[in-house]
């Protein structure tokens, strides 16, 4: 075979290789697509002792002297959650030390089930103001505060044993009163929409597996965002 013919054959093989991708390392996107699971992501979570900077940040905000638990009794959870856009994000919660392993287990279940969460920041980012945090649709846990409308009665949040999830999609409803105000369209629980918690659904079952109760099951007043280790 003449040299010119060899060149022509080689060029043809090269062109076919480029078109088909044969012999080339597939891109990350291609490898993901070929795996048949484009959206697969892995849950990660950590339990941390509150460091000096976080203690200083919380003092005078979500925690103060006289609170029913000390800072040494609390733990920081750093965990991944699925945002409303579907992608994985890092979030932070402060809970009681004894509750931390169980809550990590709960959020692993929510992540694996694909439940969406708007955002997850410490309530200190909102000056420990519960209303500001709820209006931002922020999922949060520890906050040394009293039960709304019950002066002198500590909320379970003050013990690090309560969590509010997606407050806008899961508002507090008492008669015609809805809190936060942005949650009014979600006071009616049907049809089910993204980020909403439903009776006997994934979120309720996940918390029930660690012995936590849902405020959506309360008689009369319903607190659809609220989960706690009994009480309010």
Identify the bridge partners of residue 178 per DSSP, sorted by sequence position. Answer: 173
Residues 82 and 39: their CA atoms lie apart, in Å, by 11
List the structure tokens of 206: 């996940």
Q: Residue range 16-30: average pLDDT?
A: 33
User: Residue 151: which pLDDT band, with cuts at 50, 70 and 90?
Assistant: confident
128: Cβ contacts below 8 Å, ≥ 6 apart: 61, 62, 143, 144, 145
Q: Are 173 and 222 in contact (CB under 8 A)?
A: yes
User: Residue 149: which pLDDT band, with cuts at 50, 70 and 90?
Assistant: confident
Burial (CB < 10 A; 0-12, 13-18, 19+), residue 124, is buried
Q: Residue range 2-27: average pLDDT?
A: 37
User: Residue 26: which pLDDT band, with cuts at 50, 70 and 90?
Assistant: very low
In this predicted structure, the answer to whether residue 21 has a pLDDT above a threshold of 50 is no
pLDDT of residue 40: 67
User: Residue 148: which pLDDT band, with cuts at 50, 70 and 90?
Assistant: confident
Residues 174 and 187: their CA atoms lie apart, in Å, by 10
pLDDT digits (tens, 9 = 90+) for 188-230: 999 999 999 999 899 999 999 999 999 999 988 999 999 999 7
Cross-sheet strand order for the sheet of 177-179: 177-179, 172-174, 222-223
pLDDT of residue 154: 95
In this predicted structure, the answer to whether residue 25 has a pLDDT above a threshold of 50 is no
pLDDT of residue 17: 37
**Distance spanning both ends of the chain, measured CA to CA:** 88
pLDDT of residue 87: 95
Q: CA 218, 126, 175: angle at the middle one, nearest 5?
A: 30
In this predicted structure, the answer to whether residue 32 has a pLDDT above a threshold of 60 is no
pLDDT top residue among 26 and 133: 133
């Amino acid at each position: 075979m003449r040299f010119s013919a060899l060149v022509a054959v080689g060029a043809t093989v090269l062109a076919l290789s480029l078109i088909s991708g044969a012999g080339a390392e597939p891109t990350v996107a291609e490898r993901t697509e070929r795996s048949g699971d484009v959206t697969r992501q892995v849950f990660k979570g950590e339990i941390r002792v509150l460091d000096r900077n976080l203690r200083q940040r919380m003092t005078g905000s979500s925690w103060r002297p006289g609170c029913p638990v000390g800072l040494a009794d609390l733990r920081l959870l750093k965990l991944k959650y699925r945002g409303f856009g579907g992608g994985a994000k890092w979030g932070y919660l402060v809970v009681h030390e004894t509750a931390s392993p169980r809550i990590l287990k709960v959020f692993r279940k929510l992540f694996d089930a694909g439940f969406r969460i708007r955002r997850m920041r410490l309530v200190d980012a909102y000056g420990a103001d519960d209303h500001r945090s709820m209006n931002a649709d922020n999922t949060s846990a520890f906050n040394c505060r009293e039960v709304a409308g019950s002066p002198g009665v500590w909320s379970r949040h003050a013990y690090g044993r309560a969590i509010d999830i997606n407050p806008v999609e899961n508002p507090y409803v008492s008669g015609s009163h809805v809190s936060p105000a942005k949650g009014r369209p979600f006071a009616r629980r049907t049809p089910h929409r993204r980020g909403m918690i439903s009776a006997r659904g994934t979120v309720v079952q996940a918390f029930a597996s660690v012995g936590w109760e849902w405020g959506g099951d309360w008689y009369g007043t319903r607190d659809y965002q609220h989960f706690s280790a009994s009480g309010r």
